[in-house]
Homo-oligomer: A and B are copies of this chain.
Amino acid sequence: MIKDLSALADGPVSVSGWVDTVRDQKKVQFIVLRDESGAAQLVNPAVREPSVDLQTGADDAASADRFAITEAISTLAHGSFITVTGQLKKDERVKLGGLEIKLETLDLVTEALPETPIAADSGLDKRMDWRFLDLRHPKQNLIFRIQTTFLHALRTYWVDNDFIEIQTPKLMASASESRAELFEVEYFEGKAYLAQSPQFYKQMAQPAGFGKVFEIGPAFRADPSFTSRHATEFTSIDSELSWIDDHEDVMRLHEELIVAGFTAVKEKHGAEIVELFDVEVTVPSTPFPRIPLAEAKRIVAERGYEVPRADADLDPEGERRIAAYVAETFEHEFVFLTDYASSIRPFYHMRHANDPSLTNSYDLLFNGTEISTGAQREHRVEVLVEQAKEKGLDPEELGFYLDFFRYGVPPHGGFGMGLARVLMLMLHQASIREVTYLFRGPTRLEP
């Protein structure tokens, strides 16, 4: 790999990658070769004509080889994958990593079409059409190495703390959240629906006696909106645990996970993130600030913004304003907004014992945008049935879910968090499309 070259002694090397750029000068040719680990400069003294032995008139074999390589480089399409051998030489004057490789052989593995369909300044939609070329850029590559590190840090935290990993089914017989955003599947003689979240099935792990569980997997929402924060398919990070006292226990788990993930990312990629994104990743201090939603609305109002919503919730501008307040007051990028009104929470959120208009729930905001919702769940089946009815749901249809609560279940709670939102906000990107391997939206199913 290219990143390993700097540790090698000067001498013969072999390296593979794709052609980033070619500078084809008369006397010397330069190639910038790239792989997933970095880029290096290849240099070839150009031989523009094969020399002929003046005495015999025969071709000079070595010279013919040099001529062939020179010709090959002159016609080399950007993006082609090649394997080369040559002499590695450290040279401080070479800006790219302080080394270059003087070419000896060049093997063209797969030639690219000469015209690349996207350029550095192509629009996001065009870039998504050619995502596999877009992803060759070092910034895009880094995003997915960050994602790998972040997810592995979360899973390592969970495994070290005796959580069980579950894979919940994505094919369901009914809706798991609202029926409004449900994808329908032709399922043999009948219908199935795509899971909008693992909610019901991660809760099932509680009466199953699993104690603490996690899952990172896809979730599906038939959401027709085209905002920078929504997708029809997204990666959901979920955890659920038994024997909590209230949502405070869930928040404590949640912030420890965030710290584990951010610590790992900063350690492994911090310098590169500064270089490519001009962003300094901050590992947040714990505990994160916690503000009850009603108080957050009061603070925002005091600071001159009346949330233009009929319900009890904040709007995106309100979220940005409370985040600004938190940044000023606590120097913190995260804030838990807690105790949402029952009217704007799903039926399965537990309500306050002394005030049923409020729930034991929270949203987690990162740099002013919601990345997660968590809550204590209602585990008393008779209360759950009442709350479902109050939300206009038919307990009959929820039958299999309600059964989970009829044979004993511990108090429990958990959260779901959108991976792409975390990465988007961590790297100050404008859209989750930038940090999603292949975005899915109402009008995008390809590539």
Contacts and interface: CB of A to CB of B under 8 A. Distances in A.
A293 interface: no
A77 B408 CA distance: 9
A165 interface: yes
Contacts of A109: 410-411
A135 to B, nearest CB: 4
B151 A165 contact: yes
A325 interface: no
A217 interface: yes
Contacts of A209: 17-18, 34-36, 135-136, 141
A99 B219 CA distance: 45
Contact of A380 (B36, B110, B131): B110
A130 B399 CA distance: 12
B152 A159 contact: yes
Interface stretch (A44-52, A181-189, A335-343): A181-189
Contacts of A400: 446-447
B81 A409 contact: yes
B446 A173 contact: yes
A67 interface: no
Most buried by B among A34, A80, A168, A409: A409
Interface string A140-171: 01001101110110011001001111111111
Most buried by B among A156, A164, A194: A164
A164 B35 CA distance: 13
B132 A148 contact: no
A113 interface: yes
A132 B404 contact: yes
Most buried by B among A16, A116, A379, A437: A437
A445 B171 contact: yes
Contacts of A81: 408-410
A280 interface: no
Contacts of A60: none
Contacts of A348: none
Interface string A433-446: 00001101011011
A133 interface: yes
Contacts of A404: 132, 447
A406 interface: yes
Interface stretch (A89-97, A200-208, A255-263, A424-432): A200-208
Given A188-B224, A208-B135, A168 B437 contact: yes
Interface residues of A, number: 97
Contacts of A147: 165
A366 interface: no
A407 B171 contact: no
A239 interface: no
A367 to B, nearest CB: 23
Interface in A232-273: 232-233, 235, 242-243
Contacts of A164: 36, 144-145, 148
Contacts of A443: 188
Contacts of A284: none
Given A172-B445, A201-B437, A407 B116 contact: yes
A307 interface: no
A170 to B, nearest CB: 5
Given A36-B164, A147-B165, A233-B169, A141 B16 contact: no
A243 B133 CA distance: 18
A211 B36 contact: yes
A207 B442 CA distance: 26
Given A80-B408, A132-B208, A188-B222, 9 more contacts: A1-B211, A18-B209, A18-B410, A37-B162, A81-B409, A112-B408, A141-B210, A148-B164, A148-B165
The 9 closest A-B pairs by CB, nearest first: A135-B208, A112-B408, A36-B211, A173-B445, A400-B447, A148-B165, A79-B408, A112-B407, A80-B408
20 contacts: A18-B209, A18-B410, A36-B212, A79-B408, A80-B408, A81-B409, A109-B410, A110-B380, A131-B204, A132-B205, A136-B209, A144-B210, A145-B164, A151-B165, A166-B437, A169-B233, A169-B437, A183-B187, A184-B186, A185-B185
